[in-house]
């Protein structure tokens, strides 16, 4: 089974999906899991098998059997005939789908299989066109920088170049916020824009129906070019609970104040960031308000009342 089928046919049907060690963790789909209360602390893992198209397991010990899980996936709309019709790929196929540029060992002259892609974040222009992507390595924080970027390149056999630099030395996607098409649409609809420090946090909020964005390459990389896309927006910044996170939030605020409609800074009630907060079972309403650098101007009726007073 190709990773493509897993991502397109099964993962969209699951809740609280996140990559984990080359596979995925999500909430168990069995309706009776947790005595019918659901799987708020994801205990279900699923991935491509070596001898089976897909392998999965519920680790919660609630008696969710393989047949129960399979039936639950079918009930959610998974076309099992399509899944079963695919065969596990050989090492070459898996390598092509999960290869990341940091995995090449120049000294050994071969690919280090401990490095493989576990997530990918696409940066698109406001029309939806792919500009570049950021891939996350399984060894992030364990002897690897963790992220590599690539851009579409039709001149390459694989259709991509592992760099944002073009032959003329320019860098594609400078000033491009993550999930930009959703951001543009949300501002037009006067919806709140959430801002986080990383793509995984944005995706976690998006799973819950919120619009979230960030810049590539983490803290300290937000620029006025990013800010132009948030003109007139109501923005809530979720700052990471460390000095670097707070410095990043302050820098973002300084660029937003001239253009945003309103700005609020919040932090996680539990854990370091938005994902930790939500994975702990807290809601967006339970973020702790830290500061409100820019409040929306009073409406016309309020102004009239002030004048009359």
In this predicted structure, what is the pLDDT of residue 217? 93
186 and 293 part of one domain: yes
- Where among 129, 161, 193 does a domain terminate? 161
149 and 185 part of one domain: no
155 and 192 part of one domain: no
| Tokens, residue 112 | 């280090």
193 and 295 part of one domain: yes
74 and 144 part of one domain: no
User: Is 103 part of any domain?
Assistant: no
User: Is 296 part of any domain?
Assistant: yes
Strand partners, 265: 237, 291
Q: What is the pLDDT along the chain (309 residues), one digit of tens a residue?
A: 456 778 788 888 998 888 877 778 888 998 878 666 677 788 888 887 655 677 788 887 666 787 888 899 999 998 887 777 665 444 344 445 677 888 777 677 666 778 888 889 999 999 999 999 999 998 888 878 889 999 998 777 678 899 999 888 889 999 999 999 999 999 999 999 999 999 999 999 999 999 999 999 999 999 999 999 999 999 999 999 999 999 999 999 999 999 999 999 999 999 999 999 999 999 999 999 999 999 987 766 555 555 554
264 and 194 part of one domain: yes
User: Is 200 part of any domain?
Assistant: yes
For 259, the domain range is 180-300
- Where among 63, 85, 107 does a domain terminate? 85
Query: Rounded to a whole number, what is the distance in angstroms from the first to the last CA of the chain?
Result: 71
56 and 137 part of one domain: no
Separation between Cα atoms, residue 3 and residue 97, nearest integer Å: 7
67 and 128 part of one domain: no
Distance of alpha carbon 250 from the chain centroid: 22
User: Strands 160-161 and 147-152: what pairing?
Assistant: antiparallel
Count CA atoms within 13 Å of residue 271 on its CB side: 15
User: Is 202 part of any domain?
Assistant: yes
Separation between Cα atoms, residue 66 and residue 48, nearest integer Å: 15
What pTM was estimated for this model as a whole? 0.68
User: Is 135 part of any domain?
Assistant: yes
- CATH assignment at residue 273: 3.40.1360.10
147 and 79 part of one domain: no
Number of structural domains (the chain) is 3
User: Is 305 part of any domain?
Assistant: no
In this predicted structure, what is the pLDDT of residue 1? 43
- Where among 128, 161, 194 does a domain terminate? 161
Separation between Cα atoms, residue 141 and residue 159, nearest integer Å: 28
Separation between Cα atoms, residue 21 and residue 18, nearest integer Å: 10
pLDDT in tens, 234-274: 999 999 999 999 999 999 999 999 999 999 999 999 999 99
User: Is 108 part of any domain?
Assistant: no
User: Is 261 part of any domain?
Assistant: yes
pLDDT in tens, 162-181: 999 988 888 999 999 999 99
Separation between Cα atoms, residue 290 and residue 264, nearest integer Å: 8
């Amino acid at each position: 089974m190709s990773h493509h089928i897993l991502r397109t046919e099964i993962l969209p049907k699951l809740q609280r999906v996140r990559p984990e060690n080359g596979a995925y963790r999500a909430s168990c789909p069995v309706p009776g899991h947790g005595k019918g209360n659901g799987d708020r602390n994801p205990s279900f893992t699923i991935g491509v098998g070596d001898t089976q198209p897909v392998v999965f397991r519920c680790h919660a010990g609630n008696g969710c059997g393989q047949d129960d899980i399979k039936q639950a996936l079918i009930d959610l709309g998974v076309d099992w005939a399509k899944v079963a019709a695919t065969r596990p790929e050989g090492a070459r196929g898996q390598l092509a789908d999960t290869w990341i540029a940091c995995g090449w060992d120049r000294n050994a002259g071969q690919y280090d299989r401990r490095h493989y892609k576990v997530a990918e974040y696409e940066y698109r222009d406001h029309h939806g066109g792919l500009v570049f992507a950021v891939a996350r390595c399984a060894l992030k924080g364990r002897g690897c920088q963790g992220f590599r970027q690539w851009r579409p390149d039709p001149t390459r056999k694989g259709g991509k170049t592992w760099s944002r630099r073009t032959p003329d030395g320019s860098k594609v996607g400078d000033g491009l916020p993550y999930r930009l098409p959703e951001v543009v649409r949300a501002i037009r609809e006067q919806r709140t824009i959430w801002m986080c420090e990383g793509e995984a946090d944005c995706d976690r909020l998006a799973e819950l129906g919120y619009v979230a964005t960030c810049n590539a390459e983490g803290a300290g990389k937000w620029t006025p070019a990013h800010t132009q896309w948030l003109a007139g927006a109501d923005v809530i910044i979720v700052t990471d609970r460390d000095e670097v996170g707070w410095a990043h939030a302050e820098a973002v605020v300084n660029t937003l104040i001239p253009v945003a409609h309103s700005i609020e800074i919040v932090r996680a009630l539990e854990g370091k960031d938005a994902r930790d907060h939500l994975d702990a079972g807290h809601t967006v309403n339970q973020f702790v308000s830290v500061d409100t650098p820019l409040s929306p101007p009073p409406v016309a009726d309020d102004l009239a009342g002030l004048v009359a007073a």
